[in-house]
Amino acid sequence: MSLVMISTMVLCFALTVSVAVSIGLASILGIQASNANMLISVKEMFGAINKFPLAAIPFFILAGNLMETGGISRRLVEFAKSIVGGVQGGLPMTCVLTCMIFAAVSGSSVATTFAIGAILIPALIKHGYPTSYAAALQATSAELGVIIPPSIPMILYGVSAEVSIGELFIAGFGPGLLISGALMLFVWLYCKYKGWGKNDGDGRMPFGKATLQAGWALLMPVIILGGIYGGVFTPTEASAVAVFYALVVGIVIYREIKLKDLFAILRKSAISSAVIMFIIANAGLFAFLITRAGVPDAIGRWLEAVLQSPALFLLGVNAALFVIGMFIETSAAIIVLAPILAPVAMHFGIDPVHFGLIMVVNLALGMITPPFGVNLFAACTVARISLDRIIKHLLPFVGVILVCLMIITYVPSISLALRDLVYAK
């Protein structure tokens, strides 16, 4: 059964069938091959999405779309530019910093790409940066959307591996700040080397004025994350609070969202949420079937025999996840692989929260690596260029994040120090 399922899924991927349909078709053929009752498919698909933490996903997607339309993202750009925009290469640094702040509410890298890219990609081009560089930078910076909490992939990992979502969120700050700092340092040095961005400070708003203008936008992540860690509400409840806050700020305070805009925002959010939920439902059925077939246990025993130390195990897993992330959407990969790999990691003495951050950061790389990098497609859409044109500028960014991934992998305290401080046992 497992051979039929995996072969079918790989074949469908090769034929560029969508991820959700590939996984679902492989699962149905697996049920037929094992002569099991087809009602299993309905039960397991419903069970996969019938989990309270998953309610956060549509709410965070809606919050991100409301922020984009409501002027919050534009004000965050001006605020970030007032901090780092005065140096050579300040505009690319503004892109990274803005994505980091925006990520603290949106939870989605694609939403971050569209919301921030629509503002910064044209600005970068106007200041003389190559279009391909602007698109590559935006796609890479938006990856922070799934690393800085709240994060939709972290929610999925927490549900799949039965790990505290609150602990995953707090553990994401260290890796997120590390990657943000590394990207900002790299773009600053690269712009110095290329001679780009000498006039990036033109039109920069004073820090005080930018902070005052973005005050309501900056208060949003404080309320959301403060509420989670202050015990006021759960991560799922926080997503609903984010929607309410974005709605009030966009309609009442900034007055940039009109009632006629709400239908388009809700429609866009519903479609995005349905796509993710369909993937989760099919991946849940797939994970159930391969678990029943004993695949996770077999993989675990094989890994224990071949990779006999935690360091080798992590190296092997990182290599495998990097390749898998190129071809499989992040959410689907986490839902399928987390129940398989997390128990093996725990057998090697690796903290499941630390392992979750490794999985999320690694698979997030898949969002900026061809052929199926969703951030790349989003950035290319905004920049109106073809995918092949940005590869040259993309490779150095991938290299920077790979170095950060290795540091995160082998220095657990980057992920766990803050978690241990907040969730003291």
Instruction: State the pLDDT confidence band at 371, using cuts at 50, 70 and 90.
Output: low
Q: Where are the alpha helices (DSSP H) in 131-214?
A: 131-141, 152-161, 165-171, 173-194, 207-213
pLDDT tens for 117-153 read 878 888 888 888 999 999 999 999 988 888 888 888 8
Give, in degrees to the nearest 5, the angle at Cα 196 between 192 and 200. 105
pLDDT tens track for 322-340: 888 877 777 778 887 888 8
Amino acid at 75: R
What is the per-residue pLDDT for 344?
85
Residue 118 CA neighbour count, 13 Å, CB half:
13
> pLDDT value at position 185?
94
Calpha distance 280→49 (Å, rounded): 7
Interval 88-115: pLDDT, tens: 888 899 999 988 888 777 667 777 787 7
Which tens digits make up the pLDDT trace of 403-419?
999 999 999 999 999 99
| 425, pLDDT greater than 60 | no
Q: Rounded to whole angstroms, how far apart are CA atoms 215 and 204?
A: 17
Helix residue ranges, H only, 15-55 = 19-33, 39-49
Q: pLDDT tens-digit profile of 260-296?
A: 889 999 998 888 788 778 877 887 788 788 777 777 6
Q: Closest by alpha carbon to 126, among 202, 210, 205?
A: 202
**pTM for this entry:** 0.79
Report residue 175's pLDDT band, with 50, 70 and 90 as the boundaries.
Answer: very high
Dist. CA 359–CA 252, nearest whole Å: 40
Q: Distance between alpha carbon 283 and the CA centroid of its chain, in Å? A: 18
Question: What crossing angle do the helices spanning 374-383 and 109-126 adopt, rounded to 10°?
Answer: 40
Q: What pLDDT shows up at residue 41?
A: 87
CA distance 255 to 261: 12
Residue that wins the pLDDT comparison between 22 and 263? 263
Band of pLDDT at residue 171, cut at 50, 70 and 90: very high
pLDDT at residue 309, rounded to an integer:
83
Give the pLDDT confidence score for residue 228 in this predicted structure.
Answer: 78
Query: Alpha-carbon distance 6 to 11, whole Å?
Result: 9
Q: How large is the average pLDDT for residues 203-212?
A: 86
- Average pLDDT over the chain reads 84
Quickly count: other Cβ atoms within 10 Å of residue 243's Cβ.
Answer: 19
Return all residues near 387 (Cβ < 8 A) that are at least 6 apart: 370, 376, 377, 380
The stretch 44-73 carries a mean pLDDT of 81
